[in-house]
């Protein structure tokens, strides 16, 4: 039965595993080998043909996946199959040797390969279709929208547009946690007692301020009377809840107002109550009420594109039914993108995606980097915002994010970059070719936030590239692993690359670190604040020079080996930010990651297999527009709205 594998016989366990099926056989071998750490849609091997099913998949799904591995089998020469040669490291494998040649696990693998060579007819056709079906999301269930509360920025923007309040009260709320790389993910939006109390206090202050000195913000639409009370509750309630009030709500808030003899005092009471309501704090993203469907659409569009409540035109489009058509949706989307608030919204996205917070809260060794100050950090984030905004709003090729040979510089950044300061702060300045800078990878923001206080960090830089620009999740280090590097001593001076050789030789570390460290090695000619260097400087304090004298110091400058590579990308060797940027810009994984990051931010969750067709279609539209980010926003927005409508239709039919 198995004589086609002449090099090794099959053990009893291998024969049992083959007969038991994939789940109890090869799948368990792959679990032990740690294949799922990389071979998923978000793993560092996401660009390969091998994607393991998500955790918790049904036995039928696992069996179908096992059959689909025929794509990696040479049916005429099984011993040459990639499914065998890759995990055993007989050919180059970024993950190294995961299955030991000659082991019982390899015997199970060979048994499964032999089984796959015998597939024929409809069984073979079904196995070959598996990956195509996965890419098209067939059989996957669209994840229902989770209840999402207003983020702190959305709270601030909403009370600004609702009440004319500019005090940004949510800045005093408990800080939001980063989940999936962003602060707005539904999974991280729990309501703590402290946050509930903060909402209550903010509602009281905002309502009081709204009518302090009279109706200065023109919230009352008519001359105070019983009829005006009803009109105020109806019109203010529409804006506060981002939908029409139902009769019960209308009556309740009118009654609350009527308790006060003073009309403005009654309005203040009603406003305070509405601002504490879950209908204000939580977004209307989904509804089972067909009369409110268009308002849910308006909410999604508004909070996605301008990070605040719908404006009068969007409310009118919801009321008229205009948002129920693709033409109406696209018209509303493009109108909101032209709103100045859309720029503010995109700035919020980029500040979270590129983790401005890490840089603004980081410290640097002032003795080693005296030119780095708080103003320098602020300048780095400002440059990134201007750079990003120029690409988006001037409809440039967005992949220039990685290849642009220029930056936006002020005097602080000019000193770091070694260029002349422009006449006006943050004017566009070309980078000399000798600087080897390009795009976001050559900017101080990226280079400084992925560094330690006193030195660059190849690991942090490689990890950032993998996770933020390739959307690949690198597994966390095993518990109890010592992550400290050996100290540098005067008798044995070492570069970062030398010190990190432990990562490549220790099996516990090597699997992940050889996927991230080589990326950082290619950026080692840039120090902890992003200044270029040709040598790796070390300073050692020697013995005392005599009475009254300070410590004598010895400086050592070591040559830098800045050869890097990105495992998993074709021809991915580089030695500078400019070269790495060029690799990323043309990489399919990176281009798709740009779509995924915006999807995750606007959807408030990670993508699922059911979202795959949406992401691939948005990527196709992104490419066909010559990578114009605004066109990707429009495409993704319309596709998501069509998906929401389809999901609602299916839900109704059930």
What are the tens digits of pLDDT across the range 304-328?
Answer: 999 999 999 999 999 999 999 999 9
CA distances from 302 to 256, 292, 308 (A): 30, 15, 6
> Are 542 and 427 found together in one domain?
yes
Q: Is residue 398 part of a domain?
A: yes
Tell me the C-alpha distance between 268 and 451, whole Å: 50
Q: Is residue 357 part of a domain?
A: no
Domain that holds residue 61: 12-135
pLDDT band at 546 (very low <50, low <70, confident <90, very high): very low
pLDDT above 90 for 492: no
Number of structural domains in the chain: 4
Mean pLDDT, the chain, rounded, equals 89
Question: Does residue 373 sit in the same domain as residue 472?
Answer: yes
Whether residue 279 lies inside any domain: the answer is: yes
Same domain, 246 and 375: no
| C-alpha to C-alpha distance for 14 and 115, rounded to whole angstroms | 12
Q: Is pLDDT at 4 greater than 50 in this prediction?
A: no
Beta-strand pair 573-574/535-544: unpaired
Tell me the backbone φ, ψ of residue 103, rounded to 5 degrees: -85, 170
pLDDT band at 371 (very low <50, low <70, confident <90, very high): very high
For tokens 């994607």, name the residue: 51
In a domain, 303, yes or no: yes
pLDDT in tens, 410-428: 999 999 999 999 999 999 9
Tell me: pLDDT of 542 over 90: no
Q: Is the pLDDT confidence value at 524 over 90?
A: yes
pLDDT at 333: 98
Of 108-112, 120-124, 471-475, minimum mean pLDDT range: 120-124
pLDDT band at 125 (very low <50, low <70, confident <90, very high): confident
The residue among 371, 228, 239, 377 whose CA lies nearest residue 299 is: 239
Measure the CA–CA gap between 59 and 71, rounded to whole angstroms: 20
| Residues recorded for the chain | 654
In sequence order, what DSSP letters do the residues of 441-466 get, joined into one string? GGSHHHHHHTB-SSSB-HHHHHHHII
Segment 137-142 mean pLDDT: 55
Q: End of a domain among 585, 619, 639? A: 585
Are the CB atoms for 104 and 11 separated by under 8 Å?
yes
Helix axes 629-653, 612-624, angle to 10 degrees: 150
Cβ 389 vs Cβ 396: under 8 Å? no
Co-location of 189 and 258 in the same domain: yes
For residue 467, the 8-state DSSP code is: I
Query: Which two tokens mark 204?
Result: 């009281």
Token pair for residue 490? Answer: 């005067």
- 7 located within any domain: no
The pTM assigned to this predicted structure is 0.86
**Among 270, 276, 280, 199, residue whose Cα is nearest residue 243:** 280
**Domain identity same for 501 and 433:** yes
Residue 545's alpha-carbon distances to 489, 538, 541, in angstroms, are 20, 20, 11
For tokens 């038991």, the residue is 20
- Rounded to 5 degrees, what angle do the CA atoms 50, 63, 40 make? 25
Q: Are residues 177 and 317 in the same domain?
A: yes
pLDDT reading at 3 higher than 50: no
In a shared domain, residues 72 and 208: no
Q: Which of 108, 135, 162 is the last residue of a domain?
A: 135
DSSP character at residue 406: E
The answer to whether residues 1 and 114 touch, using CB atoms and an 8 Å cutoff, is yes
Judge if 614 and 542 occupy the same domain.
no
Please compute Rg for the chain using Cα positions.
29
More confident: 512 or 256: 256
The answer to whether residue 482 is domain-embedded is no
Q: Tokens in use for 279?
A: 């209908």
| pLDDT-wise least confident of 28-32, 196-200, 231-235, 273-277 | 28-32
Q: How far apart are CA 58 and CA 286, in angstroms?
A: 29
Task: Report how far apart the first and last C-alpha atoms of the chain are (Å, whole number).
Answer: 49
The average pLDDT across 140-149 equals: 65
Between CA 384 and CA 445 the distance in angstroms is 7
Angle, helix 263-276 to helix 193-210, in steps of 10 degrees: 160
Tokens of 540: 């050692």
- Residues 109, 242, single domain; the answer is no
- Angle among Cα 222, 223, 228 to the nearest 5 degrees reads 60
Distance between CA 383 and CA 347 in Å, rounded? 12
Residues 109 and 79 in one domain: yes
DSSP state of 312: H
534 and 471 share a domain?
A: yes
In a domain, 6, yes or no: no
Tokens describing residue 85: 């040669």
146 located within any domain: no
Task: Give pairs for 127-130: CB < 8 Å, separation 24+.
Answer: 127/64, 127/67, 127/68, 127/70, 127/71, 128/68, 128/70, 128/71, 130/64, 130/65, 130/67, 130/68
CA–CA gap between residue 197 and residue 155 (Å, rounded): 15
Which class for 264: exposed (0-12), middle (13-18), buried (19 or more C-beta within 10 A)?
A: middle
Backbone angles phi, psi at 166, to 5 degrees: -110, 15
Among 527, 561, 585, give the residue marking a domain's end. Answer: 585
Task: Identify which has the larger pLDDT, 571 or 555.
Answer: 555
CA dihedral (611, 613, 616, 619) in degrees, to 10, reads -80
CA dist., res. 10 & res. 35, Å (int) = 22
For helices 326-337 and 312-320, what crossing angle results, to 10°? 180
Is 128 found in the same domain as 175?
Answer: no
């Amino acid at each position: 039965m198995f004589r086609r594998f002449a090099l090794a016989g099959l053990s009893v366990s291998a024969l049992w595993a083959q007969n038991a099926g994939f789940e109890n056989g090869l799948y368990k071998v792959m679990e032990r080998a740690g294949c799922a750490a990389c071979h998923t849609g978000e793993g560092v091997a996401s660009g390969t043909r091998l994607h393991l099913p998500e955790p918790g998949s049904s036995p039928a799904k696992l069996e179908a996946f096992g059959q689909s591995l025929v794509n990696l089998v040479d049916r005429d020469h099984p011993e040459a199959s990639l499914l065998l040669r890759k995990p055993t490291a007989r050919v180059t494998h970024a993950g190294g040797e995961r299955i030991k040649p000659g082991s019982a696990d390899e015997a199970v693998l060979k048994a499964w390969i032999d089984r796959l060579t015998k597939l024929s007819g409809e069984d073979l056709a079904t196995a070959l279709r598996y990956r195509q079906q996965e890419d098209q999301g067939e059989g996957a269930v669209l994840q229902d929208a989770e209840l999402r509360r207003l983020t702190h920025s959305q709270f601030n923007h909403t009370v600004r547009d609702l009440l004319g309040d500019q005090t940004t009260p949510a800045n005093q709320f408990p800080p939001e946690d980063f989940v999936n790389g962003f602060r707005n993910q539904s999974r991280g939006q729990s309501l703590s007692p402290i946050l509930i109390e903060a909402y209550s206090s903010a509602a009281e202050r905002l309502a009081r301020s709204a009518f302090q000195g009279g109706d200065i913000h023109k919230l009352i639409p008519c001359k105070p009377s019983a009829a005006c009370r009803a009109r105020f509750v109806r019109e203010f309630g529409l804006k506060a809840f981002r939908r029409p009030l139902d009769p019960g709500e209308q009556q309740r808030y009118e009654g609350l107002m009527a308790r006060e003899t003073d009309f403005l005092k009654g309005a203040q009471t009603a406003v305070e109550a509405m601002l504490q309501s879950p209908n204000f704090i939580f977004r209307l993203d989904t509804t089972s009420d067909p009369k409110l469907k268009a308002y849910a659409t308006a909410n999604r569009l508004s909070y996605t594109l301008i990070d605040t409540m719908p404006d009068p035109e969007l409310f009118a489009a919801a009321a008229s039914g205009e948002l129920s058509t693709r033409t109406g949706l696209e018209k509303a989307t493009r109108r909101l993108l032209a709103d100045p608030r859309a720029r503010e919204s995109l700035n919020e996205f980029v500040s979270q995606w590129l983790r401005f917070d890490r840089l603004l809260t980081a410290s640097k060794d002032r003795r080693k980097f005296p030119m780095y100050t708080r103003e320098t950090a602020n300048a780095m984030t400002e440059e990134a915002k201007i750079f990003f905004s120029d690409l988006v709003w001037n409809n440039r090729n967005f992949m220039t994010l990685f290849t642009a040979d220029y930056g936006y510089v002020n005097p602080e950044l000019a000193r770091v970059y070694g260029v002349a300061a422009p006449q006006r702060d943050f004017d566009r300045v070309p980078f000399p070719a000798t600087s080897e800078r390009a795009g976001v990878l050559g900017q101080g923001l990226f280079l400084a936030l992925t560094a330690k206080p006193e030195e660059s960090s190849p690991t942090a830089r490689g990890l950032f590239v993998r996770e933020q620009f390739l959307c690949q999740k690198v597994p966390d280090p095993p518990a109890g692993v010592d992550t400290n590097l050996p100290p540098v001593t005067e008798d044995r001076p070492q570069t970062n690359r030398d010190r990190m050789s432990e990562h490549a030789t220790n099996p516990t570390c090597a699997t992940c670190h050889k996927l991230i460290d080589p990326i950082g090695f290619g950026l080692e000619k840039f120090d902890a604040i992003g200044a270029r260097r040709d040598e790796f400087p070390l300073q050692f304090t020697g013995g005392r020079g005599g009475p009254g004298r300070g410590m004598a110091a010895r400086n050592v400058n070591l040559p830098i080996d800045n050869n890097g590579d990105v495992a998993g990308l074709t021809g991915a060797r580089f030695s500078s930010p400019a070269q790495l940027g060029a690799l990323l810009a043309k990489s399919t994984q990176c281009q798709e990651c740009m779509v995924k990051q915006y999807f995750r931010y606007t959807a408030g969750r990670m993508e699922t297999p059911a979202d795959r067709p949406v992401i691939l279609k948005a990527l196709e539209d992104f490419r066909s527009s010559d990578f114009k980010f605004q066109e990707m926003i429009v495409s993704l927005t319309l596709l998501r709205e069509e998906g929401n409508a389809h999901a609602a239709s299916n839900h109704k039919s059930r």
